[in-house]
């Protein structure tokens, strides 16, 4: 029997001696394996952010610094698209193992690189692999676990990000200082392969989905175009004057025209049902990460916090995210729609309060509490959005719709950071206050927009 499609009484007391839960025997290995993989991906992403300045100086590659980050995000767009297509046609196993191979190979190439071009090749392959892994994991959740357990699984995914968010930068810094930056890349594969081994049983049981997966014409070409747009955004962010504008315009055009073809029809206008669910993921993530990118700088420049204390203040958001996610997965007695509504309202309040750190008169502790509220709201809606997307998808659509969730997030966050960063750079010489205010105004508008989109996330009648 496939436990993902079994009846609700599978774990009744008369049939099994163990209680229902994501660590019950049928799910234990898969749950531990998926959370371990997500934790390693999260640690690697956060650790590389800390290590990359040293890497770029050591390899004489400061000019390619932006591409070392943007390239990963760009190729992940292609990986997500491939993963959704494969998962809907052949099940999640091919996407999962291909993604793991690409992720590990990219890390090894980067870890052994002796020049910046080689490191960039490794990062591009790594992004492709990581992009393949994420939708495949969502499809495993959709097909292996009954719907009642999916909120708990996504809560555990959020938990997999918390510890890396709290200790990742510090551990990475210690590795760079005492062992060498190469081990930031080389250490992860040693743990990723055993973690993935726990998924073998689950993947063997999940064959081809029922139904016939449709294929939008030119989907992969659009993925490549959107990927190129992301790269151009990051390069434009490093330039100034006419060159930045010349790169920025085609980047936005590629993201708009190619990106919208990778998403369910109606996503950009927040059409009721699945399109609004996908749009909410992008809008909420943009509001959160757009604020997070500049909040430490505001704490440092406007309030005099040291980098350590600014980092500690930001980590409060990760704690809030975990708490909100755990609440929606384990304790919430309200509907999924109510969770979305409350989560987006908390984000509006939190982003507004946190963004007031722009002004010296705003107490730091108040802004930190605002950031805690932002994380709490994000945690409540992030897992809820994933649960709703899977519930609105037929078995042969789960891969495409899971990849759409993550594509929308990646493309919108990249665009928001690029626009906010450009405004910040343009206004910084005029006024620090104006530079911060312009960026935070964007994230406040996005948070408010999230409350509107959230009300359209229920399935059409």
The domains of the chain are located at 20-215, 266-461
Cα 385 from Cα 347, distance rounded (Å): 15
Cα 393 from Cα 398, distance rounded (Å): 5
Q: State both tokens at 317.
A: 């958001």
Q: Are 92 and 206 in contact (CB under 8 A)?
A: yes
Half-sphere exposure at residue 372, Cβ-oriented, CA atoms within 13 angstroms:
11
Distance of CA 380 to the CA centre of its chain: 15
Distance of CA 18 to the CA centre of its chain: 33
Q: Are 111 and 51 in contact (CB under 8 A)?
A: no
Q: State both tokens at 376.
A: 């709490």
Cα 269 from Cα 281, distance rounded (Å): 13
Rg (CA), the chain: 21
Q: State both tokens at 30.
A: 């898969």
One fold for 20-215 and 266-461: yes
Q: Are 341 and 452 in contact (CB under 8 A)?
A: no
The pTM of the full predicted model, rounded to 2 decimals, is 0.85
Cα 278 from Cα 457, distance rounded (Å): 9
Pick the CATH number of 266-461 from 3.40.50.720, 1.20.1250.20, 1.10.150.130, 2.40.170.20: 1.20.1250.20
Q: Are 195 and 37 in contact (CB under 8 A)?
A: yes
* Diameter over CA atoms, the chain: 72
Cα 109 from Cα 107, distance rounded (Å): 6
Q: Are 244 and 425 in contact (CB under 8 A)?
A: no
Cα 122 from Cα 128, distance rounded (Å): 10
Cα 147 from Cα 389, distance rounded (Å): 12
Q: What is the pLDDT of residue 19?
A: 45
Q: Are 106 and 125 in contact (CB under 8 A)?
A: yes
By three-state DSSP, how is residue 69 classified? helix
Residue labelled with tokens 């008169």: 361
Residue 431 CB partners (closer than 8 Å, separation 6+):
none
Q: What is the pLDDT of residue 353?
A: 96
Q: What is the pLDDT of residue 18?
A: 43
Distance of CA 425 to the CA centre of its chain: 25
Residue 135 CB partners (closer than 8 Å, separation 6+):
80, 83, 84, 87, 95, 399, 402, 403, 406
Q: What is the pLDDT of residue 73?
A: 85
Cα 224 from Cα 182, distance rounded (Å): 30
The dotted CATH code for 20-215 is 1.20.1250.20
Tell me which residues of the chain have a pLDDT lower than 50: 1-19
Q: State both tokens at 320.
A: 């809030």
Cα 149 from Cα 218, distance rounded (Å): 36
Q: What is the pLDDT of residue 284?
A: 96
Q: Report which of 416, 140, 401 is spatially closest to residue 277, judged by C-alpha positions.
A: 401
Q: Report which of 75, 99, 95 is spatially closest to residue 85, judged by C-alpha positions.
A: 95
Q: Containing H/E element for 12?
A: none
Q: State both tokens at 229.
A: 């747009």
Handedness of CA 67, 70, 74, 75 (dihedral sign): positive
Distance of CA 164 to the CA centre of its chain: 14
Residue 47 CB partners (closer than 8 Å, separation 6+):
164, 168, 169, 171, 172, 175, 184
């Amino acid at each position: 029997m496939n436990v993902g499609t079994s009846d609700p009484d599978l774990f009744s007391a008369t049939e099994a001696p163990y209680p229902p839960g994501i660590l019950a025997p049928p799910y234990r290995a898969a749950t531990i394996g998926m959370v371990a993989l997500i934790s390693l991906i999260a640690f690697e992403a956060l650790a590389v952010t800390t290590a990359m300045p040293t890497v770029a100086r050591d390899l004489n590659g400061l000019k390619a610094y932006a591409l070392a980050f943007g390239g990963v995000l760009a190729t992940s767009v292609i990986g997500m698209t491939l993963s959704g297509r494969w998962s809907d046609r052949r099940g999640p196993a091919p996407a999962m193992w291909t993604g793991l191979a690409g992720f590990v190979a990219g890390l090894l190439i980067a870890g052994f690189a002796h020049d910046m071009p080689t490191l960039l090749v490794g990062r591009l392959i790594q992004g492709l692999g990581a992009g393949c892994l994420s939708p495949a994991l969502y499809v495993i959740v959709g097909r292996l676990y009954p719907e009642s357990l999916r909120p708990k699984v996504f809560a555990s995914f959020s938990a997999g990000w918390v510890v890396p968010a709290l200790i990742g930068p510090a551990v990475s810094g210690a590795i760079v200082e005492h062992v060498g930056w190469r081990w930031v890349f080389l250490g992860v594969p040693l743990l990723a392969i055993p973690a993935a081994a726990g998924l073998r049983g689950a993947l063997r049981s999940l064959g081809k989905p029922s139904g016939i997966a449709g294929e939008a014409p030119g989907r992969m070409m659009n993925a490549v175009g959107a990927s190129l747009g992301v790269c151009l955004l990051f390069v434009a962010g490093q330039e100034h004057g006419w060159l930045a504008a010349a790169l920025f315009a085609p980047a936005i055009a590629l993201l708009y025209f190619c990106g919208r073809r990778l998403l369910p029809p109606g996503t950009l206008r927040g059409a009721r049902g699945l399109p609004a669910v996908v749009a909410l993921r992008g809008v909420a993530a943009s509001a959160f990460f757009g604020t997070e990118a500049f909040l430490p700088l505001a704490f440092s420049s406007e309030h005099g916090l040291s980098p350590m204390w600014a980092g500690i203040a930001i980590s409060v958001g990760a704690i809030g995210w975990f708490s909100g996610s755990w609440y929606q997965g384990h304790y919430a007695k309200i509907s999924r729609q109510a969770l979305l509504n409350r989560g987006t309202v908390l984000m509006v309040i939190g982003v507004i309060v946190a963004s007031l750190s722009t002004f010296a008169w705003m107490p730091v502790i108040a802004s930190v509490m605002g950031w805690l509220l932002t994380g709490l709201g994000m945690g409540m809606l992030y897992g809820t959005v994933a649960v709703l997307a899977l519930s609105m998808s037929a078995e042969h659509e789960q891969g495409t719709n899971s990849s759409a969730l993550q594509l929308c997030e990646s493309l919108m966050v990249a665009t928001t950071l690029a626009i906010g960063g450009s405004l910040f750079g343009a206004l910084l010489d005029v006024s620090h206050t104006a530079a911060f205010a312009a960026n935070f105004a964007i994230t406040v508008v996005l948070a408010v927009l999230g409350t509107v989109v959230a009300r359209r996330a229920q399935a059409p009648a």
